[in-house]
Amino acid sequence: MKKLAIWAPFVLFLIFVGVVARGLIQPGGRVVRSALVGKPLPVFTLPAATKGVRGLNTADLAMGQPRLLNIFASWCIPCIAEAPVLLELKAKGVAIDAIAIRDTPQDVARFLARNGNPYQRIGSDVTSAVQLALGSSGVPESYVVDGKGVIRYQHVGDIRSEDVPMILDQMEVAR
């Protein structure tokens, strides 16, 4: 027993080395998730992002039915890849609103003309203030918001076509 116990510090040391080595080999490349999932949307009011669309405020996202809130930008390359998938979601009956980050009306109009417009409302967030209030760390991101304005799910990165069933599920769960 005593002979075994004498190895305990050495084993502890090896465990320590293992933990440190693991941290060194896989440094923390990590997805930043919003801590607001399960909580109500922060209160905000945003002006329309371009001519011919409506602006967005918190009340617009709490109208009794779940909605998808998409954070995008005309200068964001993955957002271009995401656009057709959002159109597909719209065709399947998902109500989508958006916040355009650091964008100009002309750029948003050009983006919509080129990639289609799946959005019912688009608010313009010129200083990322609402994006930060939402706990979002980049574009694109999407939030499933239930009928009472509570965030139910956050999707970090572009929604790909293989994510469509999962998003539809999340919309159903939020109903």
Binding site for another protein (CB under 8 A): 28, 30, 32-36, 73, 75-77, 101-104, 107, 126-129, 131-135, 137-138
Query: What are the CA-CA distances from residue 129 to residues 6, 30, 46 (Å)?
Result: 58, 22, 10
When the beta carbons of 123 and 135 are compared against another protein, the nearer one is: 135
CA distance 81 to 118: 13
CB of 11 to another protein, least distance (A): 15
3-class SS at 172? helix
When the beta carbons of 130 and 167 are compared against another protein, the nearer one is: 130
CB of 140 to another protein, least distance (A): 12
Under 8 Å between Cβ of 33 and 136 = no
CB of 91 to another protein, least distance (A): 28
Q: What is the DSSP letter of 54?
A: B
CB of 157 to another protein, least distance (A): 13
| Cβ density class 138-169: b for 16+ within 10 Å, e for less | ebbbbbbbbeebbbbbbbeebbeeebbeebee
When the beta carbons of 23 and 165 are compared against another protein, the nearer one is: 23
When the beta carbons of 53 and 73 are compared against another protein, the nearer one is: 73
